[in-house]
Amino acid sequence: MTATSKAETPVLELRGVTKTYSVKQGLFGTAKPLTAVNDVSLSLGRGQVLGLVGESGCGKSTLAKILLGLEAPTQGEVRVDGERIDAADRRKLARRIQPIFQDPYSSLNPRKSIEDIVSLPLLVHDVGDSASRSKAVREILDIVGLPARVMQTYPSQMSGGQRQRVAIARALIMKPEIVICDEPTSALDVSVQSQILNLLGDLRAEFGLTYLFISHDLAVVEHLATRVAVMYLGRIVEETQVADLFDTPRHPYTQALLKSVLTPDPGQGVPDTELGMEYPNPIAPPPGCHFHPRCPVAMDKCRTDRPYPVATPDGHVECHLFGGEQTQPTKSA
């Protein structure tokens, strides 16, 4: 279940991470727990790109926020280079893990110049003097392919692709080890998306960066990721190497996801995903396997017993088709 050999400490590790929100339905409804991330364990080696996929509301962004220290896990722990990080160490965490978010329009302060936006992390962490910060900004802008003259301009004067480059420059100026990309290209046109994907690939090669790459575009994930984790209702239901996942998808949900990829091949029509259509209610998740109401191959057991992770040659899958029963629950369940 780990992405690295035993000898090497994973650069990023999650152990039994759970996040439960309390949500109120309606004005006078009573608060009910909603488990957005449910006992997730993952580990990621240096230089890897973990693609995280799954439908809207499955918990991808919540997981990203926990890694960034923006949300505290209800249970479990996050380790960076083997060292346990608490949300209280947010500043420390921010030096090593930086985000790039989806929307290059709202994630940049419109009243700040590009120089101010990109140098802010240096200021917050009290790095260097104003001259050296300015130099650092110029260098990082060059790396992300923006001319130094944009330093005095404002986000509103830039295109979507340029803004996303600014967001990437801001994320990289602290020389983080890990970059959390939450749908970094979803708001961009394909002609701009490819430039950003190339840039992310180049930066990884050059600086040995590790990425968590959240995307709903499976073709992009297949292209960029080295490993892929498939999330469903807060659980990682399958995690493995990219080629293994796309060549031999095991979990029925993974299979449905791959079936729904529309490659630009005319004449092939729209495939039947064979997936039930109703989203599960995250406040009252279905018993047994959370996926069973939509699963085309659900068995009796799936309706009553929850499956547990089963090791596969390169990762794990959580489905009764592959075993997955366990008499004792895992430590944190």
Of 45, 176, 280, 282, the residue at the interface with ligand ATP (CB under 6 A) is 282
Of 83, 259, 300, 325, the residue at the interface with another protein (CB under 8 A) is 259
Of 18, 38, 48, 61, the residue at the interface with Mg ion (CB under 5 A) is 61
**Taking the complex as a whole, how short is the minimal distance between the CB of residue 233 and ligand ATP, in angstroms?**
9
41 contacts Mg ion (rule: CB under 5 A): no
CA–CA distance, 278 with 259 (Å, rounded to integer)? 18
**Taking the complex as a whole, how short is the minimal distance between the CB of residue 102 and ligand ATP, in angstroms?**
8
Taking a C-beta distance cutoff of 8 angstroms, is the pair 224, 49 a contact?
yes
Tell me whether strands 227-232 and 49-53 are parallel, antiparallel or unpaired: parallel
Could you report how far apart the first and last alpha carbons of the chain are, in Å?
Answer: 17
Nearer to ligand ATP, 23 or 205 (CB): 23
Of 37, 256, 302, 319, the residue at the interface with another protein (CB under 8 A) is 256
Nearer to Mg ion, 210 or 215 (CB): 215
CA–CA distance, 304 with 173 (Å, rounded to integer)? 50
Quote the tokens at residue 265.
């091949």
Determine the 3-state secondary structure of 286 from DSSP: coil
**DSSP letters of 155-166?**
GGGS-HHHHHHH
> For residue 275, what are the contacts with CB-CB under 8 A and spacing of at least 6?
253, 256, 260, 294, 296
Side chain identity at residue 143, one-letter code: I
Nearer to ligand ATP, 101 or 246 (CB): 101
Side chain identity at residue 10, one-letter code: P
Neighbours of 199 (CB within 10 A): 17
Q: What's phi and psi for 60, nearest 5 deg?
A: -60, -50
Taking a C-beta distance cutoff of 8 angstroms, is the pair 144, 170 a contact?
no
Nearer to ligand ATP, 59 or 73 (CB): 59
Nearer to ligand ATP, 44 or 229 (CB): 229
Total residues in contact with ligand ATP, by rule CB under 6 A: 12
Nearer to ligand ATP, 34 or 114 (CB): 34
**Taking the complex as a whole, how short is the minimal distance between the CB of residue 61 and Mg ion, in angstroms?**
3
Per the rule left: phi > 0, alpha: psi between -120 and 50, beta: everything else, 28 is alpha
Taking a C-beta distance cutoff of 8 angstroms, is the pair 323, 302 a contact?
no
Of 93, 97, 178, 224, the residue at the interface with another protein (CB under 8 A) is 224
Region of 5-13, 57-65, 167-175, 184-192 interacting with Mg ion (CB under 5 A): 57-65
CA–CA distance, 10 with 47 (Å, rounded to integer)? 10
Q: Tell me which residues in 152-211 interact with another protein (CB under 8 A).
A: 159-161, 189-191, 193-195, 197-198, 201
Nearer to Mg ion, 83 or 189 (CB): 189
Taking a C-beta distance cutoff of 8 angstroms, is the pair 289, 297 a contact?
no
> For residue 228, what are the contacts with CB-CB under 8 A and spacing of at least 6?
50, 51, 52, 53, 221, 222, 239, 240, 241, 242, 245, 246
Q: Tell me which residues in 252-271 interact with ligand ATP (CB under 6 A).
A: none
224 contacts ligand ATP (rule: CB under 6 A): no
Nearest-CB residue for ligand ATP = 61
**DSSP letters of 108-129?**
S-TTS-HHHHHHHHHHHTT-S-
270 binds, among ligand ATP, Mg ion, another protein, none (CB under 5 to 8 A by kind): another protein
333 contacts another protein (rule: CB under 8 A): no
Footprint of another protein (CB under 8 A)? 55-56, 159-161, 189-191, 193-195, 197-198, 201, 216-220, 222-224, 242-243, 246, 256-257, 259-273, 275, 277-279
Footprint of Mg ion (CB under 5 A)? 61
Footprint of ligand ATP (CB under 6 A)? 21, 23, 34, 36, 56-62, 282
